[in-house]
Amino acid sequence: MWTFLQQLSSPPYFYQLAGRLIPWLAWPCLAFLISGLYYGLWVAPIDYQQGHSYRIMFVHVPAAWMSLFIYMVMAISGGIALIWHMKLAEVIAASSAPIGASFTFLALATGALWGKPMWGTWWAWDARLTSELILLFLYLGIIALNSAIEDKRTASRASAVLGLVGIINIPIIHYSVIWWNSLHQPPSITKFGAPSIHLSMLIPLLLMAVAFKFYYATVVLMRARCEILERERNSHWVGTLITPSQNS
């Protein structure tokens, strides 16, 4: 197992492996995305209170889940890079930040679109909304650090520290609707014993969640390959990789 991890952390090996995995991840992403949108927009019944406007949930909720999931991946990768100085962990952390920021922005934007007809306002300083906005600022701060510091190793260490400090915001986001009096609805998927979402709505929601997971896996590998080429541009293996295309 340790030998495989050492091999996986090798930039040339990971670059080639990621290139082979991307098509295998992209096609399931497309299949789940089409299925989720079809069932969510056409098959799922109209909500008796919210009408058709609730259908934005099928994008909003999985995007919010992904904003938390990607941040944890990024923070853990940054921690691994700090402790064991693994270049691959630095690459994954740096590659994940823009994707996580995009999902966080999507969650906030779709939440505003959903909140306007339900709450009568685009934005309220609700505990869940405010902590999610802080998460977006954390992502943007990490992206800014990675862009502002020229030395990649120094930038990775600085962004890893910020990422680890920001982990405290994750349980706040998750439990905010329980800890405080919130406009945001309480958990309905993870509530055991008394589920408050019908199966006809749960299925497309989970399909979209899986589609977003595959999307993240696909895009993070694509970004990681570009990041590796940037970091290893002066190494011999990158030179041999680029030389044939230059001669053709």
* Per-residue pLDDT tens over the stretch 36-82: 999 999 999 998 888 888 999 999 999 999 999 999 999 999 999 99
Q: Which two tokens stand for residue 174?
A: 């998750």
- The mean pLDDT value of the chain amounts to 90
pLDDT for 194: 53
Is pLDDT larger for residue 28 or for residue 174?
28
pLDDT for 187: 65
pLDDT for 69: 98
pLDDT for 7: 74
pLDDT > 70? residue 247: no
Average pLDDT of 178-207?
Answer: 74
Which of 80-84, 99-103, 180-184, 214-218 shows the lowest mean pLDDT across its residues? 180-184
Residues sharing a CB contact under 8 Å with residue 99, sequence separation 6 or more, in sequence order: 70, 216, 219, 220, 223
pLDDT for 192: 47
pLDDT > 90? residue 178: no
Instruction: Please tell me the distance from the alpha carbon of residue 118 to that of residue 52, in angstroms, as a whole number.
Output: 12
Q: 238 pairs with which residues across the strands?
A: none
Average pLDDT of 15-32?
Answer: 97
Instruction: Please tell me the distance from the alpha carbon of residue 145 to that of residue 84, in angstroms, as a whole number.
Output: 21
DSSP state of 54: G
Q: Which two tokens stand for residue 100?
A: 């996580």
Q: How confident is the model at residue 162 (pLDDT cuts 50, 70, 90)?
A: very high
% residues pLDDT > 90 (the chain) = 70
Domain-wise residue ranges, the chain? 60-187+194-232
For residue 47, give the 3-state DSSP assignment.
Answer: strand
Where do the DSSP E strands lie in the chain? Answer: none
pLDDT for 198: 84
% residues pLDDT > 70 (the chain) = 90
Q: b/e map of 195-206 (b: 16 or more CB within 10 Å)?
A: eeeeeebebbbb
pLDDT for 97: 98
